[in-house]
Chain A
């Protein structure tokens, strides 16, 4: 009897605690950092996948076939995890933005930032830009709804090379990758800290790993549209 009551109260405690977690600003930040790191892992794999373009058309298309047919169930699992991550990341970001704005109803006449970087200050609008880009990207290369050139289902190489010969498509991708690089430069570094992991150092905002990650992702993604546009890949 006593045991079952203890178990019941433990159950209530868990629900209660999950609610407290989501209601607190720290809890929401932790949700943002975990979902953000999941997405960083995804974009890293995505980038490595893309680079097969430089080997051959057959290699890239075979990789696409592998993803869509050989491991189709796994692909859907990944898509679901990503969709949940994106939704949680955006909802938490929107709610935190509202809380943060409300925390300073009257602003300063003069404000001289001492430490904030372009990356840290552009997280919110940069995030919106990346979200809009992801929608465009899915409509362009996943569903083929936006067709700068006629869309060939299954022929990833043709779609990529055809699309990036169009200047405005390449421009959108290149700009979006700058936003992504900045977002990761700040996000990859800060998410680890939000999870409570930090090694005290004399320069607290130095971030060699996040910098490397941001540069590699920015360059690794941008090289594809640029290589096509400038005719290095035909």
Chain B
């Protein structure tokens, strides 16, 4: 197969970027999108040019490192698929493909298609954890969790933090990501103690990082390689409202004195 790639090239965070056009030839339909990029990079290296920088790690769709805007769709045209699991057979021979980095103020470009997603780490650090040590492995069912709660927690925990939700959102909102992180702890018994502080702090951090707000276009869910449901955003908002009615946050910060 043969493709014409229009790739965003940017030498560094402050450099001006532009699209460069490359021909990808001798591409097998069984190559993943990233393998196709590898082949293009090898030909660039042979010609003595800088290869295209892009993030990747596990290449089996579970780490959340890879991700690029492919013809205007985050992670490309297949639903619930990360870029590394997208195969060239899903394209038509001779296609022109535009490849761009995630675009958001909170995700500055480092180089070419690589963006800095540490804003996500800071949102997690603001409250996406349980403080108490969980101790050793317990006997099964000492803490009872209903099947539906376990399913909801698992579905939300599938978030790999790739940033496609932000990239696809017309508002550059991180609501699906934050909602997933809040939901996967918030539906389990272990997550209850810090449920209120968690939502207040993570939303405050999300705003601090200059992500936009949610207007329910639903683009994030379509782009998500794990097909995380929009319901996590509603759950986040519900938790936020409940947290506002209580005084937990102030009591904590002012201490016992």
Residue-wise interface mask of B (231-257) relative to A, using a CB-CB cutoff of 8 A (1 in contact, 0 not): 101111111111010010110001000
Residues 90-128 of chain B: 1 if any A CB is under 8 Å from the residue's CB, otherwise 0? 000000001010011110000000000000000000000
Please give, as numbers and ranges, the residues of chain A lying within 8 Å of B230 by CB-CB distance. 193, 198, 204-205
In chain B, residues 66-84, which have Cβ atoms closer than 8 Å to a Cβ of chain A? 69, 71-73
A17, A100, A110: the one contacting B171 at CB < 8 Å is A100
Kindly state the separation between the CA atoms of A101 and B170 in the bound complex, as whole angstroms: 9
Q: Smallest Cβ distance from A234 to chain B, in angstroms?
A: 44
Nearest opposing residue in chain A for B19, CB measure: A109
Interface residues contributed by chain B, number (CB under 8 Å): 55
Query: Which residues between 195 and 213 of chain B lie within 8 Å of chain A, taking CB atoms?
Result: 200, 203-204, 206-207, 210-213
- Could you say which residues of chain B place their CB within 8 Å of the CB of A193? 216, 230, 233-234, 237
| Chain B residue with Cβ nearest A98 | B212
Q: A23-B207, A195-B238 are in contact. Are A115 and B233 (CB under 8 A)?
A: no
CA distance A159 to B236 in the complex (A): 48
Task: Report if A77 contacts B (CB, 8 A).
Answer: no
Question: Can you give 28 A-B contacts (C-beta < 8 A)?
Answer: A13-B249, A17-B244, A21-B244, A24-B204, A25-B213, A26-B214, A30-B237, A96-B213, A99-B210, A99-B213, A100-B215, A103-B172, A103-B210, A103-B211, A104-B172, A108-B72, A108-B100, A109-B100, A110-B98, A112-B71, A113-B217, A114-B168, A120-B216, A193-B216, A193-B230, A196-B237, A204-B231, A205-B218
Tell me the B residues contacting A by CB distance below 8 Å: 6, 8, 19, 69, 71-73, 98, 100, 103-106, 152, 168, 170-173, 200, 203-204, 206-207, 210-219, 221-223, 229-231, 233-242, 244, 247, 249-250, 254
Q: A: which residues have CB within 8 A of B?
A: 9-10, 13, 16-17, 20-21, 23-30, 96, 99-117, 120-121, 123, 186, 189-190, 193-198, 200, 204-205
